[in-house]
């Protein structure tokens, strides 16, 4: 009986460490801006999808949720914080929908289990990213008004970067799945 509780405690500790390290990766990926056309690219969506692919939907969603709670509590974990605010003030700004979409993207990237078929993996990642932009565009429309060019502001500038990250993830997925076996 004692061995079972030690094993469960180890599993809980391991999962907790993955969530904490994952939130640190999300923070780092939000802060580093890579020159890209037409706008600089962060690697946040890459990390969100990576978490789902590598650790499954439960750990991925827990990690993104922890990251969002960190940001809501005032830690400068988001892309343009503290420059453009922190905590709730930043969260309810233009990026809130995208941040909420991270939860759904992490879920679908981890839940849909296509291990070897590159086309299905690519489609799964497209679907996962779709939720980020769905929530992002809807929130942007609510925030700034639907008469504004919402897609021109909140979607089209990011297409090339997202396709690049999705293609990279599709190619690397078999490596990430091997990580999951060891953890």
Digit-coded pLDDT (tens) for 108-141: 999 988 767 889 999 999 999 999 999 999 999 9
> pLDDT band at residue 82, thresholds of 50, 70 and 90?
confident
User: What does the alpha-carbon distance between residue 124 and residue 127 come to, in Å, rounded to a whole number?
Assistant: 5
User: What does the alpha-carbon distance between residue 146 and residue 164 come to, in Å, rounded to a whole number?
Assistant: 29
Judged by DSSP in three states, 34 sits in: strand
Q: Which CATH architecture has domain 2-182?
A: Orthogonal Bundle (1.10)
pLDDT for position 80? 86
CA–CA distance from 8 to each of 4, 91, 92, 108, 143 (Å)? 6, 35, 38, 26, 45
pTM: 0.90
């Amino acid at each position: 009986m004692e061995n079972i509780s030690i094993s469960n405690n180890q599993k809980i500790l391991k999962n907790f460490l993955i969530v904490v390290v994952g939130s640190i990766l999300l923070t780092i990926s939000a802060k580093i801006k890579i020159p890209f056309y037409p706008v600089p690219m962060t690697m946040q969506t890459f990390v969100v999808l990576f978490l789902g692919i590598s650790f499954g939907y439960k750990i991925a969603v827990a990690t993104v949720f922890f990251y969002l709670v960190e940001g809501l509590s005032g830690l400068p974990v988001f892309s343009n914080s503290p420059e453009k605010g922190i905590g709730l003030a930043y969260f309810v700004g233009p990026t809130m929908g995208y941040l909420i979409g991270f939860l759904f993207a992490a879920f679908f990237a981890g839940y849909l289990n296509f291990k070897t078929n590159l086309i299905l993996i690519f489609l799964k990642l497209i679907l996962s990213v779709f939720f980020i932009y769905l929530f992002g565009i809807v929130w942007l429309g609510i925030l700034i008004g639907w008469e504004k060019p919402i897609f021109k502001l909140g979607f089209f500038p990011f297409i090339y970067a997202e396709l690049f990250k999705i293609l990279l993830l599709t190619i690397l997925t078999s490596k990430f799945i091997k990580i999951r076996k060891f953890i």
